[in-house]
Structure 1
Amino acid sequence: MRKVFWDNPYQQRLTTKIAAVSGNRILLEETIAFSFSGGQESDKATLNGLPILYSEIEENLIYYIFQEDHEFSQGATVTMEIDWPRRYRLMRLHFAAELVLELMTRKLDLEKIGAHISETKARIDFAFDKNISFIFEDILAEYNQIIEKDELIYTGFTDVETQRRFWKINGFAEVPCGGTHVQSTAEVGFVNLKRVNIGGGKERVEISLLNDFIRPKASPSYG
Structure 2
Amino acid sequence: MAGLEEMVKGYAPTDLLYLRDSYMKACDCEVVCFKKDGKNAYVLARGTIFHPKSGGQPGDVGYIKGESGELEVKKVMGVWTDDGYYVIHYGKGSVGSGKANFQIDWETRYLYMKRHTAAHLLDHCLAEATGTKTLTLGSWLGDPAYLDYAGSMPSEDQIRMAERLENDYIHQGLPVSFSVISASDATRLGAPNEERLPKSAKELRLVRIGDFEWIPCGGTHVNNTKEIGHFTVKGVNKIEGGYRIYFDVDKAIG
Q: 1:167 to 1:78 in 2, by over 3 A?
A: same
TM-fit CA distance, 1:87: 0.5
Query: Is the counterpart of residue 142 in structure 1 residue 165 in structure 2?
Result: yes
Query: Is the counterpart of residue 43 in structure 1 residue 60 in structure 2?
Result: yes
Q: CA separation in 1, counterparts of 2:119 and 2:103?
A: 26
Per the alignment, residue 63 of structure 1 pairs with: 88
Structure 2 counterparts to residues 150-169 of structure 1, below 5 A? 150-159=173-182, 162-169=202-209
- Structure 2 counterpart SS, 1:52: strand
Per the alignment, residue 22 of structure 2 pairs with: 9
Q: CA separation in 2, counterparts of 1:131 and 1:103?
A: 12
Structure with more relative contact order (C-alpha pairs < 8 Å, separation 6 or more)? 1
Per the alignment, residue 34 of structure 1 pairs with: 51
Which of 157, 179, 183 is equivalent to 2:219? 179
Query: Is the counterpart of residue 25 in structure 1 residue 38 in structure 2?
Result: no
Contact map agreement 1:195 1:203 (CA 8 A) in 2:
no
TM-score by length of 2: 0.75
- Identity fraction in percent: 21
Tell me which amino acid in the other structure corresponds to 1:15: D
Q: 1:131 to 1:201 in 2, by over 3 A?
A: farther
Greater shift in the superposed pair: 2-11 or 192-201: 192-201
Per the alignment, residue 221 of structure 1 pairs with: none
- Structure 2 counterpart SS, 1:157: strand
TM-fit CA distance, 1:29: 1.3
Tell me which amino acid in the other structure corresponds to 1:143: E
TM-fit CA distance, 1:128: 3.2
Contact map agreement 2:235 2:247 (CA 8 A) in 1:
no
Q: How many residues align?
A: 210
Tell me which amino acid in the other structure corresponds to 1:80: F
Tell me which amino acid in the other structure corresponds to 1:105: A
Structure 2 counterparts to residues 94-173 of structure 1, below 5 A? 94-106=116-128, 107-118=131-142, 120-130=143-153, 132-159=155-182, 162-173=202-213
Contact map agreement 1:18 1:28 (CA 8 A) in 2:
yes
Greater shift in the superposed pair: 24-33 or 121-130: 121-130
Cα deviations by residue, 1:133-155 (Å, 9 ceiling, x for unpaired): 33122212322221122111101
TM-fit CA distance, 1:163: 4.5
Q: CA separation in 1, counterparts of 2:132 and 2:235?
A: 16
TM-score by length of 1: 0.84
Unaligned runs of 5+ in 1: 216-223
Cα RMSD of the aligned pairs, angstroms, is 2.1
Unaligned runs of 5+ in 2: 1-13, 184-200
Per the alignment, residue 245 of structure 2 pairs with: 205
